[in-house]
Amino acid sequence: MTLQSPLVSNAFRTFMTEAPQHAQAWSGAVQGLAGASSLDEKTRALAYLAVLAALRLDSGVPFHVQAAKQAGATRDEVISAVLVGLPAAGIAVTACLPTAVQSFGVE
């Protein structure tokens, strides 16, 4: 996925273009954390979706749904990841569900 992809939020696109040094530092940290993780790519992508839903960060959901899908996640796994936070974060996680389901069908 490129920066021009409609799956990339306007906020993140602006961050990348208007603050390239910060974005480069951020990207390095993200890559380093991914490399340090003991989770496989699919599990990490699904866990990330669960965190986005719990924090109600809907704008990142399309990009990360596609990352999970590319890592082999099914539609049902994506839905389950969004909803896994129900007991701890409450019904608010469902706010990300429509975006997640719609994004799964996007190629």
**Amino acid code (one letter) for 74:** T
Question: Rounded mean pLDDT of the chain?
Answer: 93
Q: Is the pLDDT of residue 92 over 90?
A: yes
Which residues span the domain enclosing 48? Answer: 39-107
Confidence class for position 86, pLDDT limits 50, 70, 90: very high
Given pLDDT bands bounded at 50, 70 and 90, which one contains residue 5? confident
C-alpha–C-alpha distance, residues 22 and 1, integer Å: 20
Tell me: do 50 and 31 sit in the same domain.
no
Cα 100 to Cα 107: distance, rounded to the nearest angstrom: 13
Q: Tell me the mean pLDDT in the region 47-54.
A: 97
Note the pLDDT tens digit of each residue in 64-83. Answer: 999 999 999 999 999 999 99
- What's the CATH code of the domain at 64? 1.20.1290.10
29 with 68, same domain: the answer is: no
Same domain membership, residue 64 and residue 15: no
Structure confidence at residue 8 as a pLDDT band (50, 70, 90): confident
Q: Provide the token pair at 31.
A: 């890559």
Task: Assess whether 75 and 87 both reside in one domain.
Answer: yes
Specify whether 24 is located in the same domain as 43: no
30 and 60 share one domain: no
- Domain check: are 55 and 81 in the same one? yes
Domains: count for the chain: 2
